[in-house]
Structure 1
Amino acid sequence: MRVFWGRRGGEVVSSNELGLVRTFTGANLDTASLPLSLVTPRLPWALENVTHWEGIEAVPSDSTLTVLQDHRIDVTRRWLPSGGNRSLGEGVRGLRQALERAIDARVERSTAPIAADLSGGLDSGVMAFLAERRGSGPLNTVHLSPNDAGNDDVEWSQLLRARLPHAEHHTLTQREAGSWFADPPTDWADPGSEPLPVLRNAHSLARIGQLLEGRGVELYLNGGGGDELFRPSATYVLALARKYPVRARRVLRELRARGRWSRQEVRRARLPHSSDWLSQQARQLQHADDSTGLQAAWDLTVSMPPWSTSEARGRVAEVLRAKATVDREQTWIADFERMRLISAAGVATRAMARVLAPYGVSVESPYLDDDVIEAALAVDPLEYARAEGYKPLLAGAAKGIVPDALLERRSKGDYASEYYRGLRAHRSSIERWVLESPMSRLELLEGKRFQAFLEQIHPSATSFRHLDATFSAARWLSAAERETG
């Protein structure tokens, strides 16, 4: 849950709904912060308190807000890594118990039918099978059929459905769900809040909401956070190599082979200080080019779209440089980056929840429960990063719950074709939404460059990573200006 706070007169107003805080405080749009809305994939930890409303701040995800009697506020860190020391076997048992508690807490409080995503992957599969096993009523599952016929999520989802004979299964075809960037049935964007990252597939999510509402479902479980919690990143591997040069040798060799990294790349990769990393991100923005090669990072690499103006880039770089004094050296970079990735999964879940809320459906990701995260972090880093099998910690906890075949799956569904299909179908509306938004007038983007991007051929879907943020920010900003006048 994300918490926001501001002031009305001398009193503190706080809520997990930014729109409520803005309404009660009467805050105006903070135009100086708007260039930050173009940052991809999201703002780094040092800017986690930023909102686009004057006088309103967000509480960092690792911190807690206390309102004191004299109306002062105290923001303190609620989470510090304790260092994992459990063996993989102990971790598997602890994780399984935590997952069972997470599901039990949800099914016990729900009197309505429950639904679970069944994409065909391990993360969502564990949620579905646990919900079916520990729930008292029939389970509904949802599979959103991919556009790419070569996406084997379809085959895996069929296998899992066959092993859940008592569940009610629902498959939404591409025709039923609609393509990415299609307008949702209702405009769910909250003009008093902030841009959210799932706008490209809001139409598909709304269709899921309509489907579940028609079946009386009030709780929809998904596997959000599974990748972030159970797959070691490049930063994690590099940090292991530095912290445990002898013990990590075998693990590093296996992970290096899986990531196809050479010895030279690993040797050259540097573990920067947190303040140096922020300064590096600022310099990189000024040169408008993303970093390449293997590198350790304190957060997801900051980048901006090629159509952002030099003024917008300069403003973001300036803010990053001002924050470069924020030091997190008391936290091991691997733990810190892992928690930031988990936090990013939480942002995505909250965005999905906003889309489905009008249909009376609550979206929840049990992997993001504190209890589950702590169980995963309790495992010794070298045990957690073992390369035998896919997500060995989760696979161990899921053994006997999901079909054994799923534990051996090595492929991962690719949804890049959804970008291409959506862009072909909605190019003109995307262009209209962005170019007719206040972004051009506020000198956040160059219209001709954006038009050129929409019209050019894209050999790789990675070039679309900036489109999400721009599209979402443009629609939100248009709504926010209409509301505030």
Structure 2
Amino acid sequence: MDRDIPPHFLADTWFVVFPDNEASSRLFSPLIPSLPRHVVHPSGRPWIAGNWVDDEFFAFNRGMGSFAFVGFHAAREWSKQNGWSTVSDCAGLDGLLERLPGSFHFIASLGGECRVQGTASGLRRIFLDDYAPLPVVASRQDILNFLKIRPVHHHSVAGRLMFPQPPAGIESQSPWKGISSVPAGSWIKLGASGQTSLHPWWKCPDAVATLAEGAPLLRERLAAAVDLAMACGNQVSADLSGGFDSTSLCFIGAQQSHPFLTFSSSGRENADDDLPWIDLARLSLPPGRHLHVPGDELPGPFDGIGDFAAVNVDEPYIGTAMWRRIDFTAKVLQRAGSNVHITGHGGDEVLLSPETYLYEWIRERPFAAARRLNQFRSKRRWTLIDVATAWAKAPTQQAYLEQVAKGIRLPFPDRPSASTSWGALEQRLPPWATDYTAELVRELLRQQIERGEPLHSSPAQHLCLSGIRSGAHSIRLTSQLMRQSGSRMAAPFLDDQVMEACLSVRHDEKTVPTSYKPLLSTAMKGVVPGALLERSTKPNFGIDVFKGRRRNAEELVSIAENLVLVKIGMVKKEPFRDACLGVGQPTPPIALWKTLACETWLRGSQDLANPE
């Protein structure tokens, strides 16, 4: 290799896996000395290379094979189980892996074949290099691009300009050509002769458990997830944001013998009502270290937005506008001695169901569903015509995707309307997107229609899992950013076992108009004080965002004047510049955020790939 490893690769955990054959050994052995760490197959050929710290990587040999775990796990204990010695092929590992807690990648070398898998939640992903003469997989797609330069995938970038949230599968495609994403919940086999194949190892459960059945299981699995995360850090910190999810994790952590630091911050505006809840939680927790950063000391939205291109994440990141705050927080935690930070990220995604479950429930309990629908209509300002139209408009996923494709260039509505069974129809491209971008998105949607495979036969369960994986992809990038700034992040709500416990609970008991996150509040009785279980609000940071855009208008306009997205024909400069100044066609802030995510990623990738 004639290039040095970029510094950000030395700050994060990542790996590349090579097949076990002589051709692979000849091709990739010259790379090994330039990579920070490596492990060999039982044959002695290169197997895993990358960057990691000892407490997150554990490899062992048993029987005919070698096995490795990367992430939050208890592999030293698991390796003592007898089953590893008796497994004869990669498919036979399912029974050993299916009930293990934690959040990790798993890699096996067995009988000349490799098995590589991430998580079902999508938090830990796997990517295949389609350009290499022999199959290579990695946990970061930019390392594959570093090993072999390739052009940007315009379709993928176009799909990421859609807002508020594209249909399932649109944002999971790699933004580089020649790199494929292994579907979450599947493992990839690297055969000895160079062939690859995908094998599902996880199936989304049906939402049939009652709240009374699901809450104890959630409590048990959350405790196991927090315990594993805490065991992997010398000094652990945890968000105490005042929100329901992070507060619950802090009280679970307080039951462990491992000491930890709680961290809190507040918004810049009075609309943030987190602080009283933070204070109440602190008074109820056992005595310990606590670190609070006032809102006026935190970087705000869009601060330093022009510098994000120098921060390397492996795909466009929706949190780009908040990157300075994330970077600041990670460095504060590092200075405080924390090397593992526990967050409540993913809680909203796993604990709530879409209100469209009512379309399915109405067949089962029509009168109860009608009463609840009226409650949701009042809360969301839907009309009966809205609901009836949405219900009839997209009876299948294919019909839904066809409707989305027809409407992507329409203005975003002023008033939210009811969603269809398969999702909201208000999926749009921003007014600054070009016709070329619109055609790319329509092609993506046509491809999804042709596949015709929802994540679950139940539309509500499909939307639940789609939302979880979309959130997990973003949280994965937050983790990459925090690692570069010195802090390793854990998100226990996205551990597969926790996610599965939540997905198993009935939608009509998990999401109700009169109670906030009843599954978590029931699970946390006796762990979290009752007064803290009564919170039903979330702060609104809209004023922070508005003031941040106005404060950083000059820097945003500077970005707009030299857009890579304009150069490759995907965005029109003037409408985007107007949006940076808060003028022009009214558009939700997320549209600007998503375009900035794509633009800053493209700029940061210029040294590794030139847009086609």
Using structure 2 for the length normalisation, give the TM-score: 0.73
Higher relative contact order (CA 8 A, sep 6+): 1
* Distance of aligned partners of 1:55 and 1:288 in 2 relative to their CA distance in 1, 3 Å threshold: farther
Map 1:469-484 onto structure 2 (within 5 A): 469-484=594-609
Name the stretch that deviates more: 7-16 or 92-101.
Answer: 7-16
Paired residue for 1:377? 503
Paired residue for 2:387? 266
Measured after TM superposition, the shift of residue 395 of structure 1 is 0.2
Alignment length (residue pairs): 482
Measured after TM superposition, the shift of residue 247 of structure 1 is 6.0
> Structure 2: how far apart are the matches of 1:445 and 1:179?
26
Query: One-letter code of the match for 2:343?
Result: N
Measured after TM superposition, the shift of residue 39 of structure 1 is 2.1
C-alpha distance after superposition, 1:175-223 (max 9, x if no partner): 3221111127975756582211111111011111111111210111111
Query: One-letter code of the match for 2:253?
Result: A
Instruction: Say which SS state the counterpart of residue 366 (structure 2) adopts.
Output: coil
> Structure 1: how far apart are the matches of 2:584 and 2:361?
36
Query: One-letter code of the match for 1:170?
Result: L
Identify unmatched segments of 5+ residues in structure 2.
1-123
Paired residue for 1:175? 296
Runs ≥4 in structure 1, deviation > 6 angstroms?
none
RMSD: 2.7
Equivalent position to 1:143, from 260, 264, 277: 264
* Distance of aligned partners of 1:107 and 1:193 in 2 relative to their CA distance in 1, 3 Å threshold: closer
* Distance of aligned partners of 1:233 and 1:103 in 2 relative to their CA distance in 1, 3 Å threshold: same
C-alpha distance after superposition, 1:133-187 (max 9, x if no partner): 22421x2122221022132112211211222252322222233221111127975
Identify unmatched segments of 5+ residues in structure 1.
none
Task: Find out whether 1:212 has 2:333 as its counterpart.
Answer: yes
Instruction: Say which SS state the counterpart of residue 269 (structure 1) adopts.
Output: helix
Equivalent position to 1:60, from 175, 183, 203: 183
Map 1:306-385 onto structure 2 (within 5 A): 306-328=431-453, 331-385=457-511
Paired residue for 2:238? 116
* Distance of aligned partners of 1:135 and 1:201 in 2 relative to their CA distance in 1, 3 Å threshold: farther
Instruction: Say which SS state the counterpart of residue 540 (structure 2) adopts.
Output: coil
Map 1:2-401 onto structure 2 (within 5 A): 2-31=125-154, 33-110=156-233, 112-137=234-259, 139-183=260-304, 187=308, 193-242=314-363, 244-245=365-366, 248-249=369-370, 251-270=372-391, 271-289=394-412, 292-296=416-420, 298=422, 302-328=427-453, 331-401=457-527
Instruction: Say which SS state the counterpart of residue 408 (structure 2) adopts.
Output: helix
Name the stretch that deviates more: 58-67 or 141-150.
Answer: 58-67
Using structure 1 for the length normalisation, give the TM-score: 0.91
> Structure 1: how far apart are the matches of 2:495 and 2:609?
36
Query: One-letter code of the match for 2:347?
Result: G
Confirm or deny: 8 A CA contact 1:234 1:294 kept in the other structure.
Answer: no
> Structure 2: how far apart are the matches of 1:82 and 1:282?
30
Larger Rg: 2
* Distance of aligned partners of 1:184 and 1:430 in 2 relative to their CA distance in 1, 3 Å threshold: closer
Measured after TM superposition, the shift of residue 297 of structure 1 is 5.0
* Distance of aligned partners of 1:174 and 1:233 in 2 relative to their CA distance in 1, 3 Å threshold: same
> Structure 2: how far apart are the matches of 1:31 and 1:436?
18
Query: One-letter code of the match for 2:605?
Result: A
Confirm or deny: 8 A CA contact 2:346 2:468 kept in the other structure.
Answer: yes
> Structure 1: how far apart are the matches of 2:399 and 2:364?
20
Paired residue for 1:409? 535
C-alpha distance after superposition, 1:7-63 (max 9, x if no partner): 354311111111112122332323454323322245432435522212111123343
> Structure 2: how far apart are the matches of 1:445 and 1:384?
41
Confirm or deny: 8 A CA contact 2:344 2:491 kept in the other structure.
Answer: yes
Confirm or deny: 8 A CA contact 2:431 2:575 kept in the other structure.
Answer: yes
